[in-house]
Every structure is written in C-alpha cells, then in structure tokens.
Amino acid sequence: MNRRGFPLFGLPLIGFSLIELLTVLAIVSVLAALTLPGFRDQVLKGRRAEAREALQSIQIAQERFRARSPRYADRLEDLAQPATTKGGLYRLRIVRADATRYQVEAVAQGNQSADRRCQVLTLRLDLGSTTTTGFDDRGAEQADACWPQ
C-alpha cells in the first residue's frame, strides 16, 4: 500500500458485497445458459466439414482406382483410405460399388454423435452424376443442412 491507504498502482480498493457478487454470478449464469447451446450447435456444424472432406477424398481415390480397374473399389483398404476421419469424429465406409456407381458414407461417432441434424453424410456417384445428402437421427433427409452450397 502507498501512503494514502490505497493499494499499489494508485488504484482505490473497491469492495463488493456478497449480494452484488451473487447478482453478477446470476447474470453471468443466465447469459451462459442462453448462449452455450447455440455455440455448441455451431461447433457441431463446423465439424461436419471433416466428414465432407473425407468423403471427397474417397471420391478422388475412387476415380484414381477406376482409371486402373474396370470397377470402383468396394473396400476402403483398396483405396488406401482410413476407416475414420482425421479427427475420429466420423466412421467411413463404402456402402456399395460396382462398375458404374458407388456410395460412401460418414457416420457420426463419439462427441459428434450429438449432432442430431446430420448423423450420416453420403456421397453417391451413379452413372457419372454425383449426389450428396445427409440424414438426421430419425433417418430423414437433410441435404441442405449437411452439404451447404
């Protein structure tokens, strides 16, 4: 303290009552309760990019495989692709593949399984046309939510 009874740095000592502190804590708690769900939804939404990136990587690998083979690969191992995304948020698999089409999907797992809106993201090639979509936890199609344009 300096000579005038103030703490160091010349700032006055400010006292708060217990009621004031509890009021501030209550306000902060209400604000956190209101903003946390929205923040969490945005985090889940942002993580969907990991699945889209992995599915597009598999698509490129499928085209390379098809250039050397009369069909598309039906196993990720044939494409040297992992069974999960880089962060482990999605499980990857080839649903079907033949000479003219394939379908791959990414299924949310771990913390990402809380993303009820886009549980499964799919990429399908059928006779040269690529279709992307997604499905929520009830199996309803959510193409625009899961693959934004």
Given a cut of 60, whether residue 1 has pLDDT beyond it is no
2-19 pLDDT per residue, tens: 455 555 555 565 677 778
Return the pLDDT at 7. Answer: 56
User: Residue 96: which H helix or E strand, with range?
Assistant: strand 90-97
Inter-residue contact 78 to 52 (CB < 8 Å): no
Domain ranges of the chain: 48-146
Cβ–Cβ contacts within 10 Å for residue 99, how many?
10
Distance CA 54, CA 61 (A): 11
The answer to whether 112 and 44 have CB atoms below 8 angstroms apart is yes
Give the pLDDT confidence score for residue 108 in this predicted structure. Answer: 95
